[in-house]
Structure 1
Amino acid sequence: MDLRIFTEPQQGATYDDLLAVARATEQLGYDAFFRSDHFLRMGDGDGLPGPTEAWTTLAGLARETSRIRLGTLVSSATFRHPGVLAVQVAQVDQMSGGRVELGLGAGWFAQEHAAYGIPFPEKRFGILEEQLDVVTGLWGTPVGERFSYEGAHYTLTSSPALPKPVQTSPLDPTRAGVPVIVGGNGPRRTPALAARHAAEFNVVFPELHEVGEKLDRVRAACRAIDRDPASMIFSAVFLLCGGKDDAEVERRAAAVGWDPAEARARGIAGTPTAMVDRLGVLAELGISRVYLQVLDLQDLDHLALVASDVVPQLG
């Protein structure tokens, strides 16, 4: 089981806060540091000191870490032009020595779009589909050749398709590319999109009884295009709320505004034994990678607890 740290800096964090978490992530042996891509706090509070831009942050972290993977869960297609996004991600991949992954979604938080003057179309899935076509097409175009694309939302004409990522595409090792992460709850179009473009399919805060069906839909979509379903990584995001004892669990839940019982029911939460048990259930369901949502970025002891008391029991 791969464990990755996932942060929500729009809730209130500086770059230095994120750097501290990323360094702890690396030092404690976690696989990756990921962050959300949002511009507005969710829920109550002022969001001070304000949002940090996702790919600017990851560019900085690319130069200040050396081992961990870095990426977004997820960048919103509404925030990005695919041509510019392809350049941004390829450059950060170069800056990191080939450690970047791109989670890309259709966008959903209308209020943040209004707050920063970003258009929020009613229908966005087609935009996401075309963005993935364009981004992966630009990366995968051989050096010296040109890339053109004509869709309902984007048209590119004779692009030199540069720069290239350091990495090669997990779906076609003969072409440049970074691992793409796709997730969502749609029963048909999302699995088909993941099968075509993604190295990883992610489910966000799922109910356990829903996981098997969601993964089966993606497996079926892979088979429909003659892709081996075993080539897809299946992952999930869950709140992290652990402690050495119940009192510590309750303290950490209170610090981020969660009811301890709800945290235990819905997250990777409780004592180390309880967290290991939950991760074991997820493994049985087919999940091989878990993103631990860390909301209190000052509590680095939380990450250390999982590294010392949970990871050694995972085998």
Structure 2
Amino acid sequence: MAPMDLRIFTEPQQGASYDDQLALAQRAEQLGFSAFFRSDHFLHMGDGDPLPGPTDSWTTLAGLARETSTIRLGTLVSSATFRHPGLLAIQVAQVDAMSGGRVELGLGAGWFEAEHEAYGIPFPHKRFGLLEEQLEIVTGLWSTPVGERFDFTGKHYTLTDSPALPKPVQDPVPIIVGGGGPKRTPRLAARFAGEYNQSFPEKSIVVEQVNRVRAACEEAGRDPDSLTYSVAFVACVGKDEAELARRAAAIGRVPAELREHGLAGTPAELVDGLGALAEQGISRVYLQCLDIRDLDHLDLIADTAMASS
């Protein structure tokens, strides 16, 4: 069985500065995690202290691109509701160049209406068509040969005589499509994605959804094994029950619930959980670390999970 690809994923809108994110990304790089990913949100969720306020994901990743050297960087996921595809293609290509070709783009339809209201961003209630056109535009701009022009006419966007510049360093930039939809999402993944992700799924349905995406690939004439299949789960690990309880409390959760719905418990339990996912066809896991300042948590995960994989 191939080694599991382990990535660190965090939610800075819950209260994190750029410097907090930099410290986490640099520690993740030092420990050998393959990537640092962040959410793309502008509003704190739930109770707790929202300070210092949100940070923009692509501005943050641009900074990290210059202050890291090997770790891959990306979003899980940028929202089609507040990222115009023409501008997004420019931003991602530029950060890809700034990082020397280490960027990945997770792109989704968006869901958090309150953050749109808080910052005056329109929130269309039918968003799937928006996402599909964005994927067409971003990939179309990047794949247009230098010296040629790109045009697009859709229901939501029109691009006319675009020089389709700049180009990213990578060809192609890996695109991540995720979600649990039974039909349309698998088709989008089969058409556009290098990776299909399930974020916080019920563990019992992981295989079922993977199989839907594999079937969509076959229907589209694509090799299902050409996609990477990934999941994201909250990670909460302690060397003993006391440490586990302390880390769970720090993120407002309880160990029993985290064990059921996340990757939580002792280091041995984490290893077992990763092994079970590997048996379900998952080769990449995003470990959502919600206490962004707990760098010792990354050390513990690396000492056990990285060694086992």
TM-score category (smaller protein): over 0.9
The structure 1 residue matched to 2:283, chosen from 266, 283, 288, is 288
Other-structure match for 1:67 = 70
- Deviation track 1:49-91 (CA, whole Å, cap 9, x = no partner) reads 0000000000000000000000000000001110000000000
| 1:57 is the counterpart of 2:57 | no
Q: Which runs of 5+ in 1 are unaligned?
A: 170-177
How many aligned positions are there?
306
Contact 2:151 2:159 (C-alpha < 8 Å) held by counterparts: yes
Task: Measure the CA separation in 2 of the matches of 1:12 and 1:26.
Answer: 22
Deviation at 1:245, TM superposition (A): 1.0
Task: Measure the CA separation in 2 of the matches of 1:295 and 1:225.
Answer: 37
The structure 1 residue matched to 2:121, chosen from 118, 121, 124, is 118
* Consecutive aligned runs of 4 or more in structure 1 exceeding 4 Å deviation: none
Other-structure match for 2:50 = 47
The structure 2 residue matched to 1:297, chosen from 284, 292, 295, is 292
The structure 1 residue matched to 2:86, chosen from 74, 83, 93, is 83
1:125 maps to amino acid: F
Deviation at 1:185, TM superposition (A): 1.3
| 1:156 is the counterpart of 2:159 | yes
Deviation at 1:116, TM superposition (A): 0.2
| 1:145 is the counterpart of 2:140 | no
Deviation at 1:247, TM superposition (A): 1.1
Other-structure match for 2:6 = 3
1:298 maps to amino acid: R
| 1:224 is the counterpart of 2:222 | no
Deviation at 1:310, TM superposition (A): 2.1
| 1:312 is the counterpart of 2:299 | no
Task: Measure the CA separation in 1 of the matches of 2:306 and 2:104.
Answer: 23
- Deviation track 1:104-135 (CA, whole Å, cap 9, x = no partner) reads 00000000000000000010000000000000
Deviation at 1:294, TM superposition (A): 0.5
Task: Measure the CA separation in 2 of the matches of 1:309 and 1:122.
Answer: 44
Task: Measure the CA separation in 1 of the matches of 2:33 and 2:51.
Answer: 28
SS of the aligned residue for 1:86 comes to helix
Other-structure match for 1:14 = 17
Task: Measure the CA separation in 1 of the matches of 2:80 and 2:156.
Answer: 12
Taking only aligned residues, the RMSD between alpha carbons, in angstroms, comes to 0.6
| 1:251 is the counterpart of 2:236 | no
Task: Measure the CA separation in 2 of the matches of 1:293 and 1:100.
Answer: 19
Task: Measure the CA separation in 1 of the matches of 2:126 and 2:49.
Answer: 30
SS of the aligned residue for 2:215 comes to helix
Deviation at 1:264, TM superposition (A): 1.1
Deviation at 1:4, TM superposition (A): 0.3
Other-structure match for 1:204 = 199
Deviation at 1:45, TM superposition (A): 2.4
Given the two structures, how large is their TM-score scaled by the length of structure 2? 0.98
Other-structure match for 2:30 = 27
Given the two structures, how large is their TM-score scaled by the length of structure 1? 0.96
The structure 1 residue matched to 2:255, chosen from 243, 260, 267, is 260
| 1:186 is the counterpart of 2:181 | yes
Task: Measure the CA separation in 1 of the matches of 2:181 and 2:202.
Answer: 15
1:285 maps to amino acid: Q
2:308 maps to amino acid: Q
Deviation at 1:46, TM superposition (A): 3.8
SS of the aligned residue for 1:104 comes to strand
Contact 2:9 2:289 (C-alpha < 8 Å) held by counterparts: yes
Deviation at 1:11, TM superposition (A): 0.2
Q: Which runs of 5+ in 2 are unaligned?
A: none
Contact 2:271 2:304 (C-alpha < 8 Å) held by counterparts: no
2:258 maps to amino acid: A
Deviation at 1:206, TM superposition (A): 1.1
Give the share of equivalent positions with the same residue, in percent.
71
Deviation at 1:99, TM superposition (A): 0.2
